[in-house]
Amino acid sequence: MSEIAARYRTRADIFAAKVAAVRPDQWSNPSPCTEWTARDVVGHIVEMHGAMLYPLGRSLSPARTVEEDPLAAFASARADVEALLADPAAAASGVDSPAGHVTTEQHIDQVVSADMVLHGWDLARATGQDDTIDPAELAAMWPGVQQIPDELRIPGAVRPGVVVFGPKVEVPDDAPLQHRVLGLLGRDPHWSA
């Protein structure tokens, strides 16, 4: 298993545990993502899994929908991406992304795998779970989040209807690293429903 596949698996395990811990009455809770419920957060992650398959002419396998069963929908999408990562030829194939021409596995690592970390925080916040992000993840994210270009904070800059990052949320320079990372990613670290 490659380092990227192993990292994906760890992140997916953590995200799946958060999905599994959501009570049925919490799926309609608001989330830190403006206009998204807890269910919408999982729906976004499932859709992004499909976006990783699309450049290779693949799509998500038939499965229960996020409306019917969020955990089953995520598990199926995850299996599709893990199968892609386990296929050396597919993983090494090239795709064009907003970050330039990268391998499929790099695209997965930079997009949906990383998305599960941030949106795991969103889901945890929306449903009253532990929202602590692994300190190693935060340390790895810190250099990159400091370099987010302003144009990626403009709704529709990448594609119509797509918001990549929200406006910066100011936090004190001496705030915990998790708060500083979240602020640069457009999240209020003290958000509550």
Give the global pTM: 0.94
Looking at residue 193, what DSSP letter applies?
Answer: -
Q: Please answer whether residues 94 and 102 qualify as being in contact, where contact means their C-beta atoms are separated by less than 8 angstroms.
A: yes
Task: Set out the domains of the chain in order of their start, with CATH numbers.
Answer: 3-131 (1.20.120.450), 132-193 (no CATH)
37-77 pLDDT tens trace? 999 999 999 999 999 999 999 999 999 999 999 999 999 99
Helices (H), 67-113: 70-86, 88-92, 104-108
Could you tell me the CA-to-CA distances from 73 to 52, 63, 98 in Å, in that order? 16, 6, 26
| Residue 152 binned pLDDT confidence (cut-offs 50, 70, 90) | confident
86-131 pLDDT tens trace? 999 999 999 887 778 999 999 999 999 999 999 999 999 999 999 9
H or E element, residue 101: strand 100-103
